[in-house]
Amino acid sequence: MASVTFDHLTKAYADDVVAVNDLDLLIKDSEFLVLVGPSGCGKTTALRCLAGLEEITDGQIKIDERVVNRVPSKDRNIAMVFQSYALYPHMTVYDNLAFGLKLLKTPKQEIRRRVEDAAKILNLERFLDRKPRALSGGQRQRVALGRAIVREPAAFLMDEPLSNLDAKLRVQTRAEILRIQQRLETTTVYVTHDQVEAMTMGDRIAVMRDGVLQQVGPPPELYERPVNKFVAAFIGSPAMNFATVHADQGKLKMGEQLLNLSGSRAKIAEQRHGKQLEIGFRPEDLEIANGTGDGAVSFPANVDVVEYLGNQELLHAQVEGNEIVALVASDRKVQVGDKVEFTIPNDKLHMFDPETEESLVPTG
Amino acid sequence: MATRAETARLAQPRTFSERLVGWVTRSPVHIVLLAIAALWLVPTVALLVTSFRPRSDALSSGWWHVFSSHLTLANYSQVIHTGGMGHAFLNSLYITVPATILPLTLGAMAAYAFAWTRFPFRDTTFLIIVALMVVPVQTAFVPLLKLFRENGHLNTEFYGIWLAHTAFGLPLAIFLFRNFFITLPKDLIEAARMDGASEFAVFRRVVIPLSVPALASFAIFQFLWVWNDLLMALIFVSDPSKQPMTVKITQLLSTYAQEFHILAAAGFLLMAVPLIVFFALQRYFVQGLLAGSVKS
Ligand SMILES: Nc1ncnc2c1ncn2[C@@H]1O[C@H](COP(=O)(O)OP(=O)(O)O)[C@@H](O)[C@H]1O
Ligand SMILES: [Mg+2]
């Protein structure tokens, strides 16, 4: 077990392809860190640099206090789970699991014990004599995990390990990976483009965009206090609603609608008087007004689509030329065509600078 | 998905008429293949039969009269003992086995380096090696022989011919193997490195087991080439006691020009080993070695 430090890591494939740009990130011992971002943002590259599979252009990577920039993969004592699983097709499951240990000249007894332990954890005992081709996708995935576990490495690296599984298996395996990680307490760097995976699995989440780290923090922090519009839009499902407004005294003007603010948000609107602002609010923070609008931001909207989800429903509505989505309890019986008064609690309203897209609300 | 289902259905016709249609559409190919096989077999069978017939029969009637004559092993005994083919047979093995294994192992190692490691001028070097394949062996004979003579008389030992065959076989081996290795999934190589494998361990335990078809193809090709080679044996093996079967047969030809039965036995001895090698190695031409490894 170990900590991992990315110290101003930069990786450029060519002068104009900077896959990872000045990444500064400390992953604590036994932490589960999720690296998340849209496709092509440099997650895999960052992971491969840590694995020693790519040469670093600039900066340092440390495992504990050891700088590993020039250490070959085989000597880094870290295990990687590949998106493609990359099982050795000519070896049985047992030999796949034992491969790393054999290379370390581990005694036979010890290998057998550790392989059997891992097989038990992963429910692979019955398959130890099979070749990978005789396994289902989910089983292959578990062998790939097992290969990492048996070595008891300093860290696990996982690159979208669930993306080849179907939806149901994905949820199961997600829990399985978490259980294993909590039990072994091995430092884990987990790459995904799926924000749901990130939110459910990570002790902390690091959001990347175009090779640049945007924000790092525990899931609730990213959800409640995103530092910029990109993180706000990326985290949360369904995605946050955005609208462009004008600051007017201590209030906001959305088209003809005047939105009342209070507290720090009113102050921001005052400071920015006459300027444009971008506001954001999550679908699940929207409520249908019930007459007691005590200081909350509120506005009317025309509902044009209703998606029924069971206990909740998704309302698609038009307000002053913006399309918004609200997630509300389904017992409110909203019909298509209804004009509904929505409210947002004052502290759930996000405000962004339209130029820099930075959050204007203190994110602490 | 749709196409996979379709091929599955085509591959397993269920009704009789479907099977009939399948056979009729494929049968021209089958018939042509059978004809080619038969044509190829006729001379071989003729040689085999003649080698077992006594001198009088072989000279008086064709091989197809096999059922009306008695068969004998005397021809074999004569070529092996009196003709010296037994000794030449061992020489052939002694030349061919190392001259196959050397380019096979060296070529595979070089090919691994060209496919999966990084070093300066890697691809340029590879291109130069590929270009070497077009050099005709004949152009190198004189300088090579001179080199061997001046450096420890390599042409009087087996080393000379081993080296020569290895050198001329290597470019093809490297080219073939490198192009095969490069098609192995990159993730697999990297997974092995992450598992703690040195480059040699990746080569030995992952690349080699997955490249058996390519290795077997080259092994057969090189074995047959060296086994049947006469030219290089004449030039690089100067010691008569070390000459292989091909050279011996040319000598038998001048001694027994009219004795078909003797030549047939000698010829069949020469052929037997390539046949054995081919049938022994053909089971390694299996496809689908990579199944189950990576999901793409
Ligand atoms: N081997 C490579 N050569 C050149 N460019 C690459 C290479 N690998 C990745 N890239 C580029 O680097 C960027 C980041 O890629 P990657 O790390 O794979 O993103 P992610 O894993 O977040 O989807 C992309 O723009 C990609 O095109
Ligand atoms: Mg990726």
Q: What's chain B's length in residues?
A: 296
Nearest to B165 by CA among B215, B217, B237: B237
Nearest to A100 by CA among A89, A111, A116: A111
How far apart CA A274 and CA B102 sit, in angstroms, is: 83
Determine contact, residues A174/A142, Cβ cutoff 8 Å: no
Torsion, Cα of B242, B245, B248, B249 (10° steps): -170
> Which pLDDT belongs to residue A51?
96
* Closest atom of ligand 1 to CA, residue A38: 22
- What number is the average pLDDT over the span A26-32? 96
Share of residues in chain A with pLDDT > 70 (%): 98
Residue closest by Cα to atom 10 of ligand 1:
A19
Tell me the per-residue pLDDT of B102-150, one tens digit each, with 9 for 90 and over.
Answer: 999 999 999 999 999 999 999 999 999 999 888 888 888 888 888 888 8
pTM score, whole prediction = 0.85
Partner residue opposite B194 with nearest CB, options A79, A131, A137: A79
DSSP B236-258: H---GGG--HHHHHHHHHHHSTT
Q: Which helix (H) or strand (E) holds B177?
A: helix B159-181
- Reply yes or no: is the peptide bond before residue B143 cis, omega within 30 of 0: no
Q: What is the mean pLDDT of chain A?
A: 92
Tell me the per-residue pLDDT of A316-364, one tens digit each, with 9 for 90 and over.
Answer: 999 988 899 999 998 877 889 889 999 999 889 999 999 999 999 876 5
- Test mutation, A90, A95, A152, chain B, max B CBs within 10 A: A90
- Confidence category of residue A295, pLDDT binned at 50, 70, 90: low
Determine contact, residues B177/B107, Cβ cutoff 8 Å: yes
Tell me the per-residue pLDDT of A214-258, one tens digit each, with 9 for 90 and over.
Answer: 999 999 999 999 999 999 999 998 999 999 999 988 889 988 888
**Domains of chain B, with CATH numbers?**
18-72 (no CATH), 81-290 (1.10.3720.10)
- Confidence category of residue A208, pLDDT binned at 50, 70, 90: very high
Ligand 2 centroid distance, CA of A174 (Å): 18
Global ipTM: 0.88
- What number is the average pLDDT over the span A16-28? 95
Most confident of the following: A125-134, A253-262, B128-137, B246-255:
A125-134
Ligand 1 centroid distance, CA of A45 (Å): 6
Q: Cα separations (Å) of B220 from A49, A145, B89, B212?
A: 42, 40, 18, 12
- What number is the average pLDDT over the span A284-292? 82
> B31 versus B227: which is more confidently predicted?
B227
- Confidence category of residue A93, pLDDT binned at 50, 70, 90: very high
Query: For residue A287, which amino acid is it?
Result: E
> B34 versus B110: which is more confidently predicted?
B110
- What number is the average pLDDT over the span B76-92? 85
Whether A71 has its CB under 8 Å from any CB of chain B: the answer is no
Tell me the per-residue pLDDT of A139-187, one tens digit each, with 9 for 90 and over.
Answer: 999 999 999 999 999 999 999 999 988 888 899 999 999 999 999 999 9
- Confidence category of residue A293, pLDDT binned at 50, 70, 90: low
- Confidence category of residue B15, pLDDT binned at 50, 70, 90: confident
